[in-house]
Chain A
Amino acid sequence: MVHQNAESKLHLTELLELLTTMKMLTRQSSMEILLEKALARERQARELAEKILEEKSRELYDSTIKLAQFADQLSLANLQLEHELDERKRIESQLVQVQKLESLGQLAAGVAHEINNPISFVISNISSLKEYTVAFKGIFEQLDKIRTQKNSLSQDEIEAAYSVINAIWQSEDMNYILGDVDALVAETQDGLLRVKEIVQNLKSFARLDESELNEANLNECIESTLKLAWNELKYKCEIDRQYGDLPVLNCAAGQLNQVFMNLVVNAAQAIKNTGKIIIKTQKVKNDIVISISDNGEGIPPENLKRLFDPFFTTKPVGSGTGLGLSISHSIVQKHKGSISVESSVGVGTTFTITLPIIQKNKGT
């Protein structure tokens, strides 16, 4: 029994142990389940995160490619823009040339007249001089005969020589020739000098190198422009020159001449019958200020604000391209200057150009 007791005691202990173990096991397995659940959750979360990460990095990759494509497009666009800018500059400079030719065209009548007049009298005078020379030679041949053969000639032969001289003197009107020949030569010289001057003025006006910067005195520029336009002006305008002392300006003189030409020709065209153009130049602080005024028709206010627009013109078709003032404006701007206008109908118009004297790194 005792044994039996002991045995059952043992059993009990074992049972207890077993129970405990079982309890522990049960606890353990529920822990394990919990743990497993937690793990699964964690795995799920990780998988999700990985998925998101993958998606994000794919997106990133995609956008990098897009970015690269975009950069390519950008540089292409840039290239096109540069190209268009070059093209624009080229067209602008062509327009300057076209307008310059136009203003030369407007002057053609005047210049043709101005050149044809001296050429006409020079040619005519030379042919008159040729006739004078024939008379001179006829007389001098006889004189030479008398001079060199004085001793061998008979009295009759000498008489004959003198009568030839007399005949020539009468028929050629030697008194007229002797009285006229000095004037003929002087007038002919004057005519040739005038042609030379016109050609020089044309050359300085038509200088095509637009980027060429020269040191120029603007009073002289205006003067040479006026000489060229003189034939257009002289029949209707009086010019009042009020030139101040100006320092030399580093500028594209040929282009500024074009501006002066446009303004002076416009002023003359604004004058219906006869009138006055006042050209005033002065140095004001660090600027050269040039004003060109006329007492012509004036510009109505509605046209005033469109004055510098390209192709704006009030002249009849064929008489103007409407480029003169817009080109003038851009030439003055290139010199970092400004151009302004004041006008009242029936009273007149004044254009004022202001050009800075110091120009650093001027780009053209």
Chain B
Amino acid sequence: MSEESINLEGKTLNILCVDDELYILQALQRLLRRENYKVFTANSAESGFDILREHDIHLVISDQRMPGMCGTEFMQVVKSVFPKSIRVILSGYAEIGSIMDAINKGEVYRFLTKPWSEDSLRQSIKECLQHYQTTETGELVK
């Protein structure tokens, strides 16, 4: 596997992708297959919570429009229950209201749009995890 992986004191970084579209989850797994991340997937906010409770998730990438709980609402709960996680919305419909909610209520670190460009998505994910590391180190220093 790749040598120059981002890791936290030897820990592999865990990413959770949430989308009601199975094929999106598959495509994201393919995209990240050679990065040194462990990728978890969930097809709804509810099963996303199950994974969050069981694993130490560092980055959550979620779709906006999903049955049941939408991405913004999901992120709002993730923020309050798992505040250390970095949150990213990956949406095919970037309407101003949902972007504002995502930022103001869900405090997302990035709002990315579908269709994504492979390289810039990989780069964004890298930046998110670097951000996670710096905030984590900052907290350790405190």
* Closest Cβ–Cβ distance, residue A187 to chain B (whole Å): 5
Binary interface profile of B, 75-97, with partner A (CB < 8 Å = 1, else 0)? Answer: 00000000000000000110100
Question: Which one, A10-18, A72-80, A118-126, A156-164, is touching chain B?
Answer: A118-126
Residues of A within 8 A of B27 (CB): 120-121, 124-125, 128, 187
- Size category of the binding interface on chain A: 20 to 34
Whether the pair B30, A118 counts as a contact (CB closer than 8 A) is no
Q: How many residues of B contact A (CB 8 A)?
A: 21
A178 within 8 A of B: no
Cβ B26 vs Cβ A121 within 8 A:
yes
Cβ contacts B40-76/A at 8 Å (1 or 0 each) = 0000000000000000000000000111100000000
Q: How far is the CB of B16 from chain A (nearest CB, A)?
A: 18
Q: Which residues of A contact B127 (CB under 8 A)?
A: none
Answer whether residue B34 sits at the interface, using C-beta atoms and an 8 A cutoff: yes
A117 at the interface (CB under 8 A from B): yes
- Which residues of chain B have C-beta atoms less than 8 A from A55's C-beta? none
- Listed by A's residue number, 29 A-B pairs whose Cβ atoms lie within 8 Å are A113-B65, A113-B92, A116-B93, A116-B114, A116-B115, A117-B21, A117-B92, A117-B114, A119-B115, A120-B24, A121-B21, A121-B24, A121-B27, A123-B115, A124-B27, A124-B31, A124-B118, A125-B27, A125-B30, A127-B118, A128-B33, A173-B33, A173-B34, A176-B33, A180-B30, A187-B26, A187-B27, A191-B23, A231-B65
Residues in A lying within 8 Å of B, measured CB to CB: 109, 112-113, 115-121, 123-125, 127-128, 172-173, 176, 180, 183-184, 187, 190-191, 231, 234-235
Known: A113-B65, A113-B92, A120-B115. 15 other contacts (CB 8 A): A109-B65, A113-B93, A116-B114, A116-B115, A120-B27, A121-B21, A121-B26, A123-B115, A124-B27, A125-B27, A128-B31, A172-B34, A173-B33, A173-B34, A191-B23
